Structure 1
Amino acid sequence: MDIANHLAVIDRLCAREFPAAHDRTDVGTGGPGYLMAELQTSGDFYEDDGTEREETEALYEADRDALGERLAERWGPADVFGLAGVFLRSVAGEELAEPWGTLASHVPDVHLWRAESGRWVALGVSQWDGELPFQLLAVVTETGPP
């Protein structure tokens, strides 16, 4: 993991304007009120017996925590915000502001800060399915968690 590069990406997200429409960006995706960067992406696990997946998950969580320590130096300790309840609300048909609705479908929890700018900054580890890659995600949004 390249912490300096990841911090630079987060700084760029914090300074950028939000896109007017949902679209791909140079580092991930964005839309009205949010930007999401895919900081790291693992390989897939189609040929895995479960061992590599467990090791990769632990590595991505450790990388999130290490990056989070650097962000905590700026903004204080993170709040850990579980997204399971948000996911259940979205499945029940509740309209949730982005990026929270989509994020809850593949990230179990985020480490969350409020930057001086008033924007929310979140780090999370994504995995859509058991065979698909993990991703270390950084999210910057003007919309607080639901």
Structure 2
Amino acid sequence: MDIARHLALIDELCFRPFPAEHGPEGEGERVPGGFAVVLASSQDLCTRDPAERAPTVGEYETHRDALREHLAGRWGETDPWNLQTVLLRTEREEIPEPWAGLCAHARMAHLWAVEGTGRWVALAVADRDPADEVRLLAVVTEIDPP
């Protein structure tokens, strides 16, 4: 995985105008007030031996943590954000996108308020659904986290 390329994309998304409507956005999707981008994805993991999933998730978490170190150097250290609690809240309240989608796919995220932009950046590994690929996700939005 190319950390420099991922950082450059996150930087670009911190200043790119947000879309007015939902739709595809390169390797991710755009939602009103934000972007959800797939930085990396496993290939055909969901059709292979399930025993391969855990090491792949570990590899993606290592890449996420390397990106987190760079972003924490810019925007400060943050505690991991438990997305399970947000997922549980979706049963009784309306959670806005892109947060509802993020908690449906990932278990935890690192989250920063990007000073001077009014935007939030979240970094997560989407591994919740064993029938889906493992993905490294970046979310950039102006919607405050729930």
Q: TM-score, normalised by structure 2?
A: 0.93
In structure 1, distance between residues paired with 2:137 and 2:50: 25
CA separation of 1:26/1:53 partners in 2, compared to 1, >3 Å: closer, same or farther? same
Which letter does structure 1 place at the counterpart of 2:95?
L
Q: How many residues align?
A: 144
Any unmatched runs of 5+ in structure 2?
none
Q: In structure 1, how many angstroms separate the alpha carbons of the residues matched to 2:33 and 2:79?
A: 21
Superposition pairs for residues 3-18 of structure 1, below 5 Å?
A: 3-18=3-18
Q: Does residue 2 of structure 2 align to residue 2 of structure 1? A: yes
Question: What is the Cα deviation at residue 49 of structure 1?
Answer: 4.1
Q: Distance in 2 between matches of 1:35 and 1:13?
A: 7
- The match for 2:42 is 42
Structure 1 residues 65-84: Cα deviation after superposition (integer angstroms, max 9, x where no partner): 00010101110112311111
CA contact (8 A) 1:68 1:78 kept: no
1:79·1:113 contact (CA, 8 Å) conserved in 2? no
Distance 2:124 2:95 in 1: 18
1:88 is aligned to 88
Structure 2 counterpart of 1:112: 111
> 2:82, 2:109 within 8 Å by CA — same for their partners in 1?
yes
Aligned to 1:73: 73
1:41–1:135 contact (8 Å) kept in structure 2: yes
Report the AA paired with residue 34 of structure 2: Y
TM-score (norm: length of structure 1): 0.93
What SS class does the counterpart of residue 16 from structure 1 fall into? coil
Kindly provide the amino acid, as one letter, of the partner of residue 37 in structure 2: A
Percent identity, please: 49
Which residue pairs with 2:124 in the alignment? 124
